[in-house]
Amino acid sequence: MKHLTFSILGLSMLVGLAVAEQPAAGRDEATLRALEQKWDAASLKGDSAAFGQIFADGFISTSAEGKVRTRAEMIAQIKSGDVKYQLSKVDDMKVFVYGDAAVVNGRWTGKFVEKGKSVDTVERFTDTYVRQGGQWRCVASHGSAIK
């Protein structure tokens, strides 16, 4: 009887922990989806300060063409006006949270002018986030063109 009581108590604690984790995971997923939306809005507004909040210090981006850019390069490109977005939209997002790390995968549709050249693209993307100081920050982004 004593073992049964402890077993039930232990099982109840595990179920309680699992239930408590679900709202936190849901909040993390909602936060990461909101960050992707904020990224789109920052692109359209040319808001380099927003990118400074989204990107971690060691952020690295690999474009669909294979070009690698650092956080500083990405922010400088927005500040300079070398790239002006007319459309930036994510959809078909899937969010996977692994404790203090997360992966967001989705489809991005973009239209922009880069150094006078108009670009229309649809890409699959994978963004990798880590929780730093209680905040989600993107550490890596990779895009592949959908042909």
Q: What is the CATH number of the domain that holds 58?
A: 3.10.450.50
Half-sphere exposure of 121 (CA within 13 A, CB side): 21
Kindly report, residue by residue over 124-144, the tens digit of the pLDDT: 999 999 999 999 999 999 999
Whole-model pTM: value is 0.82
Kindly report, residue by residue over 68-108, the tens digit of the pLDDT: 999 999 999 999 988 999 999 999 999 999 999 999 999 99
Which domain range does residue 99 map to?
2-145
What is the tally of structural domains in the chain?
1
Residue 48 in contact with residue 77, Cβ under 8 Å?
no
Distance of alpha carbon 111 from alpha carbon 65, whole angstroms: 15
